[in-house]
Structure 1
Amino acid sequence: MPNPRPNRVLFLIDSLGMGGAERMLVNYLQHLDVNRYEPRVCVFGVRDGNPVAAEIERLGIPVDLISVPRIRDFINVMSLVRYLRLHQIDLVHTQLETVTVHGGIAAKIVGIPTVHTLHTFAYPNATARETRRTELVWFSLRHFHDKIIAVSAAVGDYAVSKGRVPLEKISVLYNGIDTRSFSPRNSADRVSVRTALGIPDNAALVITVAVLRREKGIQYLIETWPDILKSVPNAYYLVVGAGPYESTLKSLAAKHNITDRVIFAGPRNDVPDLLRSSDLFALPTLNDVLPTVLAEAMASGLPIVASRVGGVPEMIEPDKNGLLVSPADKIGLANACIRLLCAPNEAQRLAEGGRDIAEARFNVRNQVQKLETLYEELLKKPMPNELAQ
């Protein structure tokens, strides 16, 4: 008797720009067991040319486009139903928003299980339109999806309290990283990376990697940098990333006359090297579900200073792998950075603790195995064709 074919899993996502959910999708696809699961990716739109699509296709995984401009364009549901049947999809895994509604309805019509990964909280200052959109997504998660993967316990609790999603539907699964891609710094590499950036080898280097938005709180660290320099005269701040708040942050550095100490590196494809060349990772974010970059920093052997918000306390344990401060607390932020920059033994102890936590909680290989187990459980359950009856 021939072996059954692998289960066909469709990963539905709004688009394939350079966002966190898109990057995380690549991480998981790289490690999915192709003997058990045959992945396929479908997007509803194009963002910045969908650069991540090329990475997925290089893995030998097809990427398709079904154009759905708006979340309320329900006429496209039947196009998705035909697509699911054409490719004999066994399970749908949705990410982000628009695909959540359409993917859930289409999967119910076809009679196959659906999983959704919840990456974000709702908009903090939502417009009426955004609120209606969010309510539509919550409705879909309650009625059309069989399992909700929360990337942190904090966002899982949020889904239950704000979205009225049944608790039994929630499974917490932290985002995974390839810990082998991040390793403690090599002294020769450290010097060359710093030289290319114009940073002295003996500098006390603090790094932040983030999309440059107001919500990342980088402005608070820039504003307090003159205070840090009083205690750590050789301190430099490396800001890696791009975004709508970049010009504001640069103006702030100029206002405080620290443009020679705050280096804006822009978006980079050598983040592991930059992390290995730094001494401390700072993330003064105002809210975050589960910032994967903290796991990358831990795996790179960096102690961490971060805000006590969202899912961050699930990653950073005070005095074990970093220090937590209140959001927007410039004094607390400065004191925490100064403390670790001036105490190399403590910083090294926290760095070692971070590497252990990164390997135990955020190794993508372990996380993919957990994801595959969840798929297996859903595929074994009978799925009634509820909407077709």
Structure 2
Amino acid sequence: MPSIGKLDPTDDRIGVLHIISGLTVGGAERMLVWMARYHDRSRFRVGVVSLMSGGGFAHAIRCEDVPVFELGQRRGRLSVSGLRSLFSIAKEFDPEVLQGHMFHSNILARLMGVRLIGLSGRELHVLNTIHHEHESIFRRLACSVTGPMAAAEIVFSLPSDNLVAPEFFWRPTREVFPYGVEINEELKRDRRVLRAALDIPDDAVVWVSVGRLIPEKGFPVLIEAFGLMKTRGERPFLLIVGDGPERERISSAISRTGLSGSVSLLGIREDVEDIYRASDFFVLSSLSERSPLAVLEAMAAGLPVVATRVGNVPGMVEEGRTGFIVPPSDPSALAGAMERVMKMGEEAREWGKRGSRRVHEFFDFRRTQEKIEEYYRLLSRGKGRNG
């Protein structure tokens, strides 16, 4: 574990220390990379504590000259030595803002904030970032008991989002910020080169789907939809980016459906933008979501979208203008929408361009980061956004 080193007493920047369970894969993890990449270095010093070790996102954050402290803990568990290390890091970093991400890290940030009170001349503000609502009774109860220890909950939301505080006997102060994704304007690699590296013919029709391989993402439904298209003579390719506990089940479904030659499980990739560029269309088959980042990332890359009607997807995808929206758990409807968009030709390409313009106009994460940092500055001056 790297040492923080002695802080410069003349450094008057606002210290922000993030705590997250791990940095391997997921929307919350990618968002933390963007927060590290776009923070105002003249006003903030930022650090990240990852309860688990490893993951490409840890490397990406370090590339932004932001320190990452990995505790080497097991998923969902924190040892006594891990707690001591976390406390030592937080004490040495001496932040004004201690911000948790996801359930376990939010709980730890609250408890750590109580432990750190009075150990510094700075006023400490504990923030919890809610990336999705907690549904289990245990988690809701834990949030209710520890929630008052935090100054506020940070929520990234679309204007259409229906925010419901899930706690039993405590209603949190919620600070809502606009949802956004990174928009990379740098020159991309040649599409033909990318396809050659993936062993895909240059003239093939390629779909891409990105997400953790977990039941909620509905990948077996997507495989069944591809099987239906195959029986009707369609031969597109499908690239699935991500990993998780459902990988073996999904792989078996691919083999059972006879799709081994056209569906590829790519695992965790750090070149997701290149995968989008090598593809023609994006598909989301989720059974439940809140605001899936992958939909906006695909739209930013200029891909038409077919997605299930879950969470805030209808607020992202303009039905009949940037994509199609279908009911979840319906392979036939999903296959039908995918076949329709494949036959649209130039109109589909126009949908992709329209979607890209929409993301640039409404969902640029750099604007989100500016609003977050404005809130940090208000906290450091002893004010809330309404103060």
Q: Could you state the TM-score of these two structures normalised by the residue count of structure 1?
A: 0.83
Report what 1:386 is aligned to: none
Could you tell me which of 5, 13, 33 is aligned with 2:12?
5
- 1:258 & 1:79 partners in 2: Cα distance? 48
Alpha-carbon distance, 1:106 to partner: 3.5
Q: Give deviations 1:171-227, integer Å, cap 9, x for gaps.
A: 1331431332586xx7xx222322333322222211112222222112112112233
* More off after superposition, 151-160 vs 347-356: 151-160
- 1:263 & 1:82 partners in 2: Cα distance? 44
Alpha-carbon distance, 1:67 to partner: 7.7
Report what 2:134 is aligned to: 122
Report what 1:169 is aligned to: 174
What is the DSSP-based 3-state SS (H/G/I as helix, E as strand, rest coil) of the residue aligned with 2:154? strand
Within-5 A mapping of 1:1-389: 5-43=12-50, 45-47=51-53, 49-64=54-69, 83-108=89-114, 109-110=117-118, 111-122=123-134, 126=136, 131-141=137-147, 143-153=148-158, 157-161=162-166, 166=171, 168-180=173-185, 189-229=190-230, 233-381=234-382
- CA 1:283 to 1:375, structure 2 compared with 1: closer, same or farther past 3 Å? same
Task: Please say if residues 183 and 300 of structure 2, whose CA atoms lie closer than 8 Å, have aligned partners that are also in contact.
Answer: no
- CA 1:165 to 1:78, structure 2 compared with 1: closer, same or farther past 3 Å? farther
- CA 1:72 to 1:239, structure 2 compared with 1: closer, same or farther past 3 Å? closer
- 1:197 & 1:77 partners in 2: Cα distance? 43
Alpha-carbon distance, 1:33 to partner: 0.2
- 2:170 & 2:356 partners in 1: Cα distance? 34
* More off after superposition, 368-377 vs 72-81: 72-81
Q: Give deviations 1:137-191, integer Å, cap 9, x for gaps.
A: 34333x12222222235997454255666475241331431332586xx7xx222
What is the DSSP-based 3-state SS (H/G/I as helix, E as strand, rest coil) of the residue aligned with 1:259? coil
- 2:170 & 2:158 partners in 1: Cα distance? 14
- CA 1:173 to 1:148, structure 2 compared with 1: closer, same or farther past 3 Å? farther
- 2:363 & 2:281 partners in 1: Cα distance? 20
Task: Please say if residues 152 and 289 of structure 1, whose CA atoms lie closer than 8 Å, have aligned partners that are also in contact.
Answer: no
1:93 alignment partner AA: Q
- CA 1:349 to 1:377, structure 2 compared with 1: closer, same or farther past 3 Å? same
Structure 1: give runs of 5+ residues left out of the alignment.
384-389
2:108 alignment partner AA: H
Report what 1:387 is aligned to: none
Alpha-carbon distance, 1:80 to partner: 5.8
Report what 2:6 is aligned to: none
- 2:351 & 2:169 partners in 1: Cα distance? 38
What is the DSSP-based 3-state SS (H/G/I as helix, E as strand, rest coil) of the residue aligned with 1:35? coil
Alpha-carbon distance, 1:318 to partner: 1.0
- 1:242 & 1:84 partners in 2: Cα distance? 31
Alpha-carbon distance, 1:284 to partner: 0.5
Alpha-carbon distance, 1:240 to partner: 2.2
What is the DSSP-based 3-state SS (H/G/I as helix, E as strand, rest coil) of the residue aligned with 1:179? coil
1:217 alignment partner AA: G
- CA 1:58 to 1:273, structure 2 compared with 1: closer, same or farther past 3 Å? closer
What is the DSSP-based 3-state SS (H/G/I as helix, E as strand, rest coil) of the residue aligned with 1:151? strand
Task: Please say if residues 152 and 172 of structure 2, whose CA atoms lie closer than 8 Å, have aligned partners that are also in contact.
Answer: no
Structure with higher helix content: 1
**Higher relative contact order (CA closer than 8 Å, sequence separation 6+):** 1
- CA 1:232 to 1:315, structure 2 compared with 1: closer, same or farther past 3 Å? farther
- CA 1:278 to 1:54, structure 2 compared with 1: closer, same or farther past 3 Å? closer
Alpha-carbon distance, 1:82 to partner: 6.2
- 1:74 & 1:158 partners in 2: Cα distance? 36
What is the number of equivalent residue pairs in this alignment? Answer: 369
- CA 1:192 to 1:51, structure 2 compared with 1: closer, same or farther past 3 Å? closer
Alpha-carbon distance, 1:273 to partner: 1.7
1:145 alignment partner AA: A
* More off after superposition, 215-224 vs 148-157: 148-157
Q: Could you state the TM-score of these two structures normalised by the residue count of structure 2?
A: 0.83
